[in-house]
Amino acid sequence: MSLEVKGKTHVRLVFLGAAGVGKTALIRRFLQDTFEAKHRRTVEELHSREYDVSGVKITVEILDTSGSYSFPAMRKLSIQNSDAFALVYAVDDPESLETVKRLREEIVEIKENKYTPMVVVGNKTDRVGERRVSGDDVLSTVEMDWNSSYLEVSAKDNDNVVEVFKELLQQANLPSRLSPALRRRRETFPKHARFRPPMNKTNSCTVS
């Protein structure tokens, strides 16, 4: 029997979006605080972190998915088994935003709930001179029409990355007291926080 502290004790977050928009870079920046500029094709990777919140273990799983539409069955299964969704596009790639719109429709159809927890993420804001998507237009669509959250980020500059995960976990109804643990990951937690850092082990599997 699992314990609950004002919410769930286990949640799965899934990152979806076109190839090359930076899904893996965002996850790697959050988990390892590193950035690799070279794009490497991902099929599917599952990362697991365990946090201790007031003596209760909270498990956070992060699913990194393929940007290819060659795996529709795998993507459908990922959507069915996940609690909250990060829909990632690149601000210099308008077509990647169209992919986000299609993915959002697919999630709503599979989950049969238009209020499923979702955060639309505009990545690569560091490419200032290459921006081709208006953040104001996306913000209007996401918040007014989709009733979801919108954040612009840069995995390269580590700008707003932690905020993406905080928003996903809040929407997934995990204990709000977990948020400070995410702000200072691993050994850098504030001294006053009542959390232990995530366990070092990463349950990560790669399908190749």
What's the rounded Cα separation, in Å, for the pair 14 and 66? 11
Q: What is the pTM of this model?
A: 0.80
Which positions ≥6 away from 55 have C-beta within 8 Å? none
Residue indicated by tokens 């995990």:
174
Which positions ≥6 away from 111 have C-beta within 8 Å? 79, 80
One-letter amino acid at 146 equals W
Q: Are 170 and 160 in contact (CB under 8 A)?
A: no
Whole-number average pLDDT of the chain: 81
Name which of 63-67, 109-113, 164-168, 203-207 the model is least confident about.
203-207
Domain 10-206 top-level CATH class: alpha beta
Q: What is the pLDDT of residues 161-173, one digit of tens each?
A: 999 999 998 888 7
Strands 84-90 and 56-65: unpaired
Q: What is the pLDDT of residues 37-48, one digit of tens each?
A: 876 777 789 999
